[in-house]
Amino acid sequence: MNKHMLWLAAICLSLFAFAACSDGEDTPDPNPGPTEKTTNDWIYETMLENYLWYDEIEKKGKEGYNFNLEPDEFFESLLSKKDGLWQGTGGYNFYFSYIEKKRTKSKSISDLDPTYGFDYIVYSVTDNSGKYLGYDWARILYVLPNSPASEAGIKRGDFILGFDGKDNNLTDYTLLEEGNGATFTIGGLKWSEQTKAYQIAITGTTAISKARLTANNPLFLDSVYHINGNKIGYLVYNHFSSGPEDSNDGSYDKEMKTIFTNFKAEGVNEFVLDLRYNGGGLVSCARTLASCLAPANDLTSGKTFCKMMHNSKKSKEDYTYPFDKSLTSSNLDLKRVYVLTGRWTASSSEAVINALKPFMEVVLIGSQTIGKAVGSVTYGEKEDKYDWLMHPIILRICNANDDANYSQVGFKPDIAKEEIKPPFILYYDLGDTNEALLATALAKINGTSKASAPELRTAESMPTLEPVYSSVGRHVPQGLIFDEKMLETAK
């Protein structure tokens, strides 16, 4: 597997298995769980009916598959090589479809695990000849409020150089997610008068308390900037979730509408949407967001937000979804929008970009997006008989022009700005007008020469850093998830 894409493989984690117990060794279980064979039969029949590339399964035939495999292995054996991203000679790095064990209480649209409260990018550390030095360094992307990390004073841009107070011993970056109280060795970019360049140097150690459940509100930050007569709205939106518990909880949707109503009341006439850490989620939330940004006439006239196209067996279930005309009080009636993108911008994030393109100017700033123009639903939530949740790809998503040309290639930025790979830039807090991507957008809006933070010349003696993993991809929801609320607005 290409290490650059390990972050997205995190959405395929198996979670917790449920084990049934009997009263005695010789007493048979009156309600035995399903065998691999019966579970795999269910997986096969569900995929044969609903999978976007069902015809490949049908062509191979039932006899072409090993039904004695573990359910997760069997599920993967059914997947098409069109289902994922091609990375060249190395093959497919991951599939978009995935399967997971049910939790004791299944909530597939929620962050249920304890966390330190930060997301990060991991770099393998090598010498200048390319030899791996046996340890990794991690750089903080953002910190959740009211989390162990924020209480410990960890901030965006910090490097974690070691664990348990030791330097350069981060050989297993899952330690950053395991949740015990720990001491991190912290580093930062420091100017060296001796080398006349920046180096990553130790700045101290930080004790962090045990991980705990921490609210991960996707509406991370909203601001309005008054610059050169423009009123510029800014929103950092990190995942498309309706609420903190499940897809039927609308608290985040209500908060989004309130935020945009406030933007409108302040007279916002330009907008910067930050999706750089957003891997997707519910399509219904994407529709709400796009409806707040689209031109008012296209909203009220019921123009198309997206089209959902199923396989040939399910073509009667194809639907067209208009923008939500009930959101006129939150709609900003914009002519253009600036979208900040990154290596994790995917699925529902890309659907918003694609949906707005026929109706307004969309300026992309940052890195190339993933290229996921397909969506999934969840099977198994109502099937108590099985211990698995399947998330197969069942549809393509197109815009009003029937365009999904970003599939498997992504959207290239109009203004490229890399914040992950060296040479490094200084990290400012998200929302700071000096922050690299935001500063670039503000300069573009205001026609000024000031752009983003410059790349920093680093000392020749500093080790070479290569990004290999990010925790951003571990979050749920990920992908482009079709939910039942969308059916209510289909036409």
Per-residue pLDDT of 441-455, as tens digits, reads 999 999 876 555 566
Q: How far is CA 383 from CA 79, 152, 247, 314, 378, in A?
A: 22, 43, 18, 21, 11
205 and 247 belong to one structural domain: no
- As a whole number, mean pLDDT of residues 253-280 equals 97
pLDDT at residue 460 in the model:
66
Q: Average pLDDT in the 273-278 region?
A: 97
Mean pLDDT within 348-358: 96
Whether 323 and 440 map to the same domain: the answer is: yes
Sign of CA dihedral 394, 400, 406, 410: negative
Residue 91, in any domain of the structure: no
Segment holding 251, helix H or strand E: helix 251-265
pLDDT of res. 417: 92
**Domain count across the chain:** 2
Q: What band does 34 get if pLDDT is binned at 50, 70 and 90?
A: low
Instruction: With respect to residue 442, please indicate whether it lies within any of the assigned structural domains.
Output: yes
Question: For 288-304, how does the pLDDT look when each residue is reduced to its tens digit (9 = 90+)?
Answer: 999 999 999 999 999 99
Q: Is the pLDDT of residue 5 over 60?
A: no
Pairing mode, strands 479-481 and 280-282:
parallel
Residues 195 and 259 in one domain: no
Indicate if the pLDDT at residue 468 is higher than 50.
yes
Q: Which of 187, 213, 239 is the endpoint of a domain?
A: 213
Domain containing 161 equals 118-213
Whether residue 268 is found in the same domain as residue 228: yes
Residue 266 lies inside a defined structural domain of this protein:
yes
Rg of the chain, C-alpha, whole Å: 24
Q: Is there a single domain that holds both residue 208 and residue 339? A: no
CATH number at residue 230: 3.90.226.10
In terms of domains, do 149 and 223 share one? no
Same-domain check for residues 408 and 287: yes
For the chain, what percent of residues have pLDDT higher than 70? 83
pLDDT at residue 92 in the model: 54
Three-class secondary structure assignment of 402-431? CCCCCCCCCCCCCEECCCCCCCCCCCCCCC
The pLDDT tens digits for 416-431 are: 999 998 888 889 999 9
Which residues fall within 8 angstroms of residue 187, CB to CB, at 6 or more apart?
137, 158, 159, 160, 161, 200, 201, 202, 203
Whether 276 is covered by a domain: the verdict is yes
pLDDT for residue 11 is more than 50:
no
Q: What is the mean pLDDT of the chain?
A: 85
pLDDT at 106: 37
**Confidence grade of residue 414 (pLDDT, cut at 50, 70, 90):** very high
Query: What is the b/e burial string over 434-471, where b = at least 16 CB atoms within 10 angstroms of the residue's CB?
Result: ebbbbbbbbbbbbeeeeebbeeeebeeebbbbbbbbbb
What is the structure's pLDDT at 6? 40
Question: What mean pLDDT comes out for the span 70-85?
Answer: 92
DSSP helix/strand/coil, 31: coil
Q: Are 215 and 249 in contact (CB under 8 A)?
A: no
What is the rounded CA–CA span in Å between residue 239 and residue 242? 9
Mean pLDDT of 173-191: 88
Q: What is the pLDDT at residue 448? A: 77
3-state secondary structure of 260: helix
Separation in Å, CA 485 to CA 250, 258, 301, 341: 11, 20, 21, 27
Segment 155-173, tens digit of pLDDT: 999 999 998 878 899 998 8
152 falls within a domain: yes
| 197 plus 245 within the same structural domain | no
Verify that 188 and 135 share a domain, yes or no.
yes
> What's residue 3's pLDDT?
41
Query: Quick check: is 425 in a domain?
Result: yes
pLDDT at 4: 39
User: Are 225 and 87 within 8 A, CB to CB?
Assistant: no
Query: What does the pLDDT read at residue 130?
Result: 85
pLDDT of 10 strictly over 50: no
Task: Specify if 273 maps to a domain.
Answer: yes
